[in-house]
Amino acid sequence: MTALLHVKDLEVRFHTKDGIVNAVNGLSYSMEQGDILGIVGESGSGKSVSSMAMLRLIPDPPGKITGGQVLFQDQDLLQLKPRQMHTVRGSQIAVIFQDPMTSLNPVMTIGDQIAEAMQVNLGLDRRKALQETITVLEHVGIPQAGKRLGDYPHQFSGGMRQRVMIAMAISCRPKLLIADEPTTALDVTIQAQIVDLVKRLQEELGMAVVWITHDLGVIARLAKRVNVMYAGVIVESAPIKPLFKTPAHPYTLGLLGSLPGIDLSADQDLNYIEGAPPDMINLPPGCPFWPRCGYRTEHCTQAKPELTAVAADHAAACWHLDRVREFYTPRQEATQ
Amino acid sequence: MNIGLKERPSTSEVLSHGSNPEQLSVASRTLTDSAAPSTLFTPEAYQGATKYANFWVGAWRRYRRNHLAMYGLVYAVVIIIIALAAPLLTPFRFDEINLMNALQTPDATHPFGTDALGRDMLTRIFYGARPMLMVGIVTGLANLALGVPIGILAGYLGGIVDWFVTRLIDMFSALPWYLIVLYLVMVLSPSLENLILAMIITGWVGPCRLLRGLTFSIREQDYIEATRALGLPMWRILVFHVLPQAAPLLLWGFAAGIPNAVFAEAGLSFLGMGIRPPRPSWGQMLAESGNYWQYWPHMFIFPSIMIITAVLAFQGIADGLRKALDVSENI
């Protein structure tokens, strides 16, 4: 079975005044049809950049994809001509963006915006496209969709706008949906609704979903498999249950350890990972995580670890997988 | 419960990707439960929705509510009709000299009187609307046709294209436009066509600079990236997402440019650089009244009134357009 999406050694660089930012450094993963893949990592870990690079939406200059392959249905997207790229975007791969407040054109009615995508990608005429728009909007749970076609984005609430964005993304029946932190700008109850909506749509339409977030709670609710990213590489890749039960990488431990629990008393400090994310211009040699890692040894500072299998379908990039497993008992103590 | 479902257009094929009736009834339940009945999905209700969906329909609705703008529009239409139908509206020719009849004050045969050569003033005012409209509309359209594509491309593409266009804009902005127009008309020989040409050469910079700046800020917006991610080609993004945001300003600029053109045409005609006699223009008629106005005030009153009212009318239109096309102001 060939993978729907196969990313191989993807590298993205940004040329800035201060130097070259190594945003993505050899990212590899693959996805089957109908998978839900979560990508987790802190700000600047390259999760959004790598996904935008797949669609070749990195602003150039300053950004450049310097290496690797993005095989989508066995076709390397990085080799396509710009004209061919248009046929991939929207109709094959669609994106939901983080902020529904700014991702919709404020001076265009939502009916026109959704219909436009279908006119371009599916070749429908305007009337037919508007008809389909009504159905798609109903499908994502916009009440009285027919009456709301002529409304402008500011007449919708945040959650409703994100539904509109989702309607726009699924309107052309993409095989892969990239959700770039779609719930970050929403409050928690709306977040849950959006997550459930995407999950429902994914099951109905059978598309694959890449869900980018830094919210482990959302991931736990949705994803089948998770890639944890740090400094532009995957440090751990596992199905959802093993990741939460037996995390293998010290960074994952740290992330899980920083989740505040309800039983934490008010005067207790929150757990966090010491130090700051690495300077992406001057990445430390060796393992990118060693300056913040409790398990580091001399070896970590010199050689970069590769992803190694720790169990079936579960891999992590660390020199001290044995020690991590040995020391890991309750997750709160792991970061110390 | 499922009345809405039955009447919805082409449900079956629309979500062929896995919609099952249960899922859809969730949506229609909300609809039937709310105050609005199932008529929502009848074709009539649907057509109402699409009509309202158009931005320009809404703009026209807002424009109509603006009384000043409506008066301006009606007056402008009257002027345009007069200019087009001038030969049908008057028994005289604009260049029919009758010295025996010179300097007549208004009466039944010559409602606006006659000028120093005995030509009917009303006829000349009718014909004088022609160069005014020609200069205003043709230069306005040509400025847009030239400035908009250059500006929008420079703003969207940036880089070397933008650098080049910006230098060009700087160059043309540094020149005093009235002097350039004067100079060009002198070199090219005075005529209506050369006047228009000269005004375009200096005028395209306005819309160009406007659109370049606007495109520059719009292209960084998230929703433009979203349209790129949706696979829209560049021309579509520019025409449907960037241009409409500039449309209010451009339309306003176009309408506001007409009074300017009236003044420019009048001024150049006064200096003998514009419309050549015997073809009449309001500015030229005003200039001709210079020696007579103390005794025959009708010679300057009527052209003046025409210039003032025309300027006011177009200004009213411009103002109304600006308000009607601004979505952020009164929905």
Is pLDDT of B52 > 60?
A: no
pLDDT score at A328: 60
Chain B residue numbers touching A169 (CB-CB < 8 A): 230
Gap between the Cα atoms of B237 and B153, Å rounded: 11
Sign of the Cα torsion A89, A94, A98, A101 reads positive
pLDDT score at B34: 39
DSSP 8-state secondary structure symbol assigned to residue A162: H
Per-residue pLDDT of A154-174, as tens digits, reads 888 888 888 888 888 888 888
Residue of higher predicted confidence among A334 and B211: B211
Per-residue pLDDT of B259-276, as tens digits, reads 777 778 877 877 777 777
Per-residue pLDDT of B153-175, as tens digits, reads 999 888 899 999 999 999 888 87
Is pLDDT of A75 > 80?
A: yes
Q: Which of A89, A132, A205 is the closest to B14 by Cβ?
A: A132
* A139/B19 CB distance under 8 A: yes
Is pLDDT of B326 > 80?
A: no
**Collapsing DSSP states into helix, strand and coil, what is residue B170?**
helix
Q: Which of A87, A102, A147 is the closest to B223 by Cβ?
A: A102
Label residue B54 by pLDDT band (50, 70, 90). low
Chain A residue numbers touching B219 (CB-CB < 8 A): none
Q: What is the DSSP string of B254-310?
A: HHHHHHHHHHHHHHHHHTTSSSPTTS--HHHHHHHGGGTTTT-THHHHHHHHHHHHH
CB A247 within 8 A of CB A40: no
Whether B43 contacts chain A with CB within 8 A: no
Mean pLDDT, residues A72-91? 84
**Chain B: residue whose CA lies nearest to A168:** B230
**Chain B: residue whose CA lies nearest to A95:** B229
Give the mutation candidate from A56, A58, A107, A110 for the B interface (greatest B CB count, under 10 A): A107
Of A70-74, B21-25, B51-55, B312-316, the range with the lowest mean pLDDT is B21-25
Q: Which of A87, A105, A147 is the closest to B223 by Cβ?
A: A105
Nearest Cα neighbor of A208 from A248, A177, A182, A234 is A177
Whether B249 contacts chain A with CB within 8 A: no
Q: Give the other-Cβ count within 10 Å of A191's Cβ.
A: 20
* B229/A89 CB distance under 8 A: yes
Sign of the Cα torsion A41, A43, A45, A50 reads positive
ipTM, two decimals: 0.76
* B229/A116 CB distance under 8 A: no
Gap between the Cα atoms of B118 and A243, Å rounded: 99
Per-residue pLDDT of B270-303, as tens digits, reads 777 777 777 888 888 888 887 887 888 888 888 8
Is pLDDT of B14 > 70?
A: no
Q: What percent of chain B has pLDDT over 90?
A: 9
Mean pLDDT, residues A223-237? 88
Nearest Cα neighbor of B122 from B78, B90, B88, B75 is B90
* A86/B233 CB distance under 8 A: yes
Is pLDDT of B11 > 50?
A: no
Q: Which of A117, A132, A150 is the closest to B230 by Cβ?
A: A117
Is pLDDT of B131 > 60?
A: yes
Gap between the Cα atoms of A240 and A220, Å rounded: 7
Chain A residue numbers touching B241 (CB-CB < 8 A): 105, 108
Q: Which of B223, B228, B244 is the closest to A89 by Cβ?
A: B228
Gap between the Cα atoms of B82 and B123, Å rounded: 10
Place of tokens 């629990």: A261
Whether B233 contacts chain A with CB within 8 A: yes
